[in-house]
Amino acid sequence: MLYDYLIVGAGLYGAVFAHEAAKAGKKCLVVEKRPHIAGNIYTEDVDGIHVHRYGAHIFHTSNEEVWNYVNQFARFNNYINSPVAVYHDELYNLPFNMNTFSKLWNIKTPAEAKAIIQSQIEKLNITEPKNLEEQALSLVGPDVYFKLIKEYTEKQWGRDCKELPAFIIRRLPLRFTYDNNYFNDRYQGIPEEGYTAMVQEMLKDAEVLLNTDYFEFIKGHAGIAKKTIYTGNIDAFFNFCYGPLAYRSVRFETERIDDCDNYQGNAVVNYTSHEQPFTRIIEHKHFNFGKQPFTIISREYSAEWKPGMEPYYPVNDATNAELYAKYKALADQRDDVIFGGRLGAYKYYDMDKVIAEALNFAAQEL
């Protein structure tokens, strides 16, 4: 055998594991089907602007070990994500906080905001929220739900809010202070040189083959490594034998605007009504406080995944959880292949969770 590990996917999970394995003296080969490393956190340098090709990526964590870990590979800036939401001709701050409530109801104090939300929630009589709609309504009441959540969520997931799990909306902070920070985490930022440079640093001691699909590659290279670490989608690995898992895919319409240096005044603007077919517009330069005389924006359109598309978000509803459990049972019978990362574990993981998962596995394995 030529390698200790064959790592499928040069995304964050694959790169962290490759780094740890190389440090432990193991020989790794990484195969990546795309023409570049870094998976979905890939950033492309376009005349000094780091374009987040697969959507806005803001690193945030409360896990000190993970924060120290990533800081070995990159210097992070002090970007704080504070998206703005547009609902028809109204504009609100996110996440749901005193700035949002003050604009909605023309009030000033937390007591006033709490009283309004409380009076709206009481009428609903929801004791145990069973789905995203009930969870959202019972947290923030109908005013916020109908203007800032319902239609955005339907665009994002292509499903009725009653059919989605409650945990999705619990990702968002709700606070009664004038604080527009989208995350509650202790640490936050974006690599100053872009995510691709960070992942490059992680992979510096591994061999990487780009434009290489594992399923093609393995036909001619069976037995090339003692173990495989697979970070692609788990259903594809088992040839969709129980049928495909559901994913949401995303299409980005990216535009360079040469005669404009500041298109929307913020890195992320969410469009929360059905009026616009896209969910959000990202203006990439603001992630790095760019001063270029031009700008680059991406409109983000969400779509149901079909074969041939990139899977982005696992759809963690009850049907797919059941289907995933069947694939997981197959995976557990394989001690020659380990399944990891967002697609391998079919979990809506943020970057810090993916790193923690890869480090935990590396600690057991190496």
1: Cβ–Cβ under 8 A, 6 or more apart, which residues?
223, 224, 225, 226
Catalytic residue from among 20, 300, 352, 357: 300
Least Cα distance to 156 among 336, 359, 312, 334 occurs for: 312
Q: Can residue 10 be called a binding residue for ligand FAD (CB under 6 A)?
A: yes
Stated as kind and residue range, the H or E segment containing 299 is strand 295-304
Does 94 interact with ligand UDP (rule: CB under 6 A)? yes
Question: Distance (Å, rounded) from C-alpha 314 to C-alpha 316?
Answer: 6
Other Cβ atoms closer than 10 A to 282: 24
Tokens of 307: 């074969």
Q: Work out which of 93, 188, 270, 295 binds ligand UDP, going by CB under 6 A.
A: 270
Residue 248 bears catalytic tag: yes
The burial of 226, by beta-carbon neighbours within 10 Å (0-12 exposed, 13-18 middle, 19 or more buried), is given as middle
Specify the pairing of strand 3-8 against strand 207-209. Answer: unpaired
Q: Whole-number minimum distance, CB 182 to ligand UDP, in Å?
A: 7
Q: What kind and span of H or E run contains 5?
A: strand 3-8
Among the listed residues 185, 299, 348, 365, the single catalytic one is: 348
Q: Residue 41: name its binding partner from ligand UDP, ligand FAD, none (Cβ under 5 to 8 Å by kind).
A: ligand FAD
Sheet bearing 3-8, strands edge to edge: 207-209, 28-31, 3-8, 225-230, 337-339
Please identify which residue in 5, 6, 7, 8 interacts with ligand FAD, judged by CB under 6 A. Answer: 8
251 is catalytic: no
280 annotated active-site: yes
Angle CA 57–357–95, to nearest 5: 35
Which conformational region is residue 18 in: left (phi greater than 0), alpha (psi within -120 to 50 degrees), or beta? Answer: alpha
Check residue 343 for interaction with ligand FAD (CB under 6 A): yes
- Cβ of residue 189: shortest distance to ligand UDP, in angstroms? 16
Q: Which stretch binds ligand FAD (CB under 6 A): 29-37, 119-127, 199-207, 256-264?
A: 29-37
Could you tell me where the beta strands, DSSP code E, fall in 88-205? Answer: 90-93, 187-189
13 binds, among ligand FAD, ligand UDP, none (CB under 5 to 8 A by kind): ligand FAD
Q: Residue 349 binds which one of ligand FAD, ligand UDP, none, with CB within 5 to 8 A depending on kind?
A: ligand FAD
155 binds, among ligand UDP, ligand FAD, none (CB under 5 to 8 A by kind): none
Q: Which of 213, 275, 304, 322 binds ligand FAD (CB under 6 A)?
A: 213
84 binds ligand UDP (CB under 6 A): no
Residue 300 catalytic? Answer: yes
Both tokens of 169, joined, read 């909306």
Packing angle, helices 12-23 and 351-365, rounded to 10: 30
Q: Which stretch binds ligand UDP (CB under 6 A): 110-118, 123-131, 144-152, 291-299?
A: 144-152
Among residues 153, 200, 288, 298, the one that binds ligand UDP under rule CB under 6 A: 153
Burial of 219 (0-12, 13-18, 19+ CB in 10 A): exposed
Q: Which is nearer to ligand UDP, 3 or 271 (CB)?
A: 271
Comparing CB distances to ligand FAD, the nearer of 17 and 92 is 17
Nearer to ligand UDP by Cβ, of 160 and 213: the residue is 160
Is residue 174 involved in binding ligand UDP (CB under 6 A)?
no
CB-based contact 37:162 (threshold 8 Å):
no
Residue whose structure tokens are 């680059």? 296
Of 7-15, 143-151, 164-172, 219-227, the segment contacting ligand FAD by CB under 6 A is: 7-15
Q: Which residues bind ligand UDP (CB under 6 A)?
A: 85, 94, 148-149, 152-153, 156, 168-169, 171-172, 270, 272
Q: Which residues bind ligand FAD (CB under 6 A)?
A: 8-14, 31-34, 39-41, 55-59, 213-215, 231-232, 250, 312-313, 341-343, 349-352, 354
Where in the sequence numbering do the catalytic residues fall?
171, 175, 248, 280, 300, 348, 350
